[in-house]
Amino acid sequence: MEDNLTVPINGLPQGRKEFRWRVGKTFFEHFENSEILAADLDVEVYAEKSGRFIGIDCDVIGDVTVACDRCLENLNLPVETGFRLSVKFGQEPADGSDAAEREREIVWLPESDADLNLGQIVYDYVCLSLPVQRVHLEGECNPEAVKFLSSEDEQSVDSQGKDASLPFASLKDLIDKVK
């Protein structure tokens, strides 16, 4: 990846170390089915090592571009998210006995791993920070698309003036006749 979001765990000195990356469009192209068309994000990672404890604090701030759900034009959305991780070595306990750390997610790494790639985690948190419904503010959508959509709504009314988009409208008429 052009934006290598890797923290060198084994070479990490005691204390606090800062890492900064800039994440753009090519970062998101590495993930299949990404809805993010473009991005300009700053990723700040603070890794703190104290004995065998390694804590990772990450903040992601910037903008992403997605398709508007209404008109399919580009829509810029602000992103401000972050996460806190604890890095532990060895195998994850099967009984989940390490649930004491509630403030941080725990990432388990094999003893042999020297690096922690944060790419997938950053991608996931950015996607989760986006709203479910992604639309322009009222009046900012492509006027041609809005016009087309409003003409579709008008065509869904049948010749008797009833809404043809309701699939059970004719059944309701039958029930009314039976009564």
Query: Same domain, yes or no, for 31 and 79?
Result: yes
Q: Based on the domain organization, do 55 and 93 belong to the same domain?
A: yes
Q: Tell which residue, 150, 134, 162, 138, has the closest CA to residue 64.
A: 134
d(CA 25, CA 148): 30
Residue 171 and residue 97 share a domain: no
| Domain around 164 | 143-178
Residues 22-60 have pLDDT tens digits of 999 999 999 988 899 999 999 999 999 988 889 999 999
Residue of higher predicted confidence among 24 and 94? 24
How far, in Å, CA of 9 to CA of 113, rounded? 8
Please tell me whether residue 102 adopts helix, strand or coil conformation.
coil
Assess if residue 18 is contained within a domain: yes
What average pLDDT does the chain have? 85
pTM given for the model: 0.75
- Is the pLDDT at 171 greater than 50? The verdict is yes
Q: What are phi and psi of 165, to 5 degrees?
A: -80, -10
Question: Rounded to an integer, what distance in angstroms lies between the CA atom of residue 81 and that of residue 119?
Answer: 14
pLDDT tens track for 116-154: 999 999 999 999 999 999 999 988 888 888 888 777 555
Q: What tens digit of pLDDT does each residue of 59-77 get? A: 999 999 999 998 999 999 9
